[in-house]
Amino acid sequence: MSIDTETARRVAKLARIKVEDDALPALASEFSAILGFIEQLNEVDVEGVEPMTSVTPQRLKRRDDVVTDGNQQEAVLKNAPDAREGFFAVPKVVE
By CB under 8 A, tell whether 71 contacts other proteins.
no
By CB under 8 A, tell whether 84 contacts other proteins.
no
Q: Please, what is the minimum distance in Å from the beta carbon of residue 76 to other proteins?
A: 8
By CB under 8 A, tell whether 60 contacts other proteins.
yes
Please check whether residue 4 is in contact with residue 26, taking contact to mean a CB–CB distance below 8 angstroms. Answer: no
By CB under 8 A, tell whether 4 contacts other proteins.
no
By CB under 8 A, tell whether 63 contacts other proteins.
yes
DSSP helix/strand/coil, 84: strand
How far apart are alpha carbons 8 and 20 in whole angstroms? 11
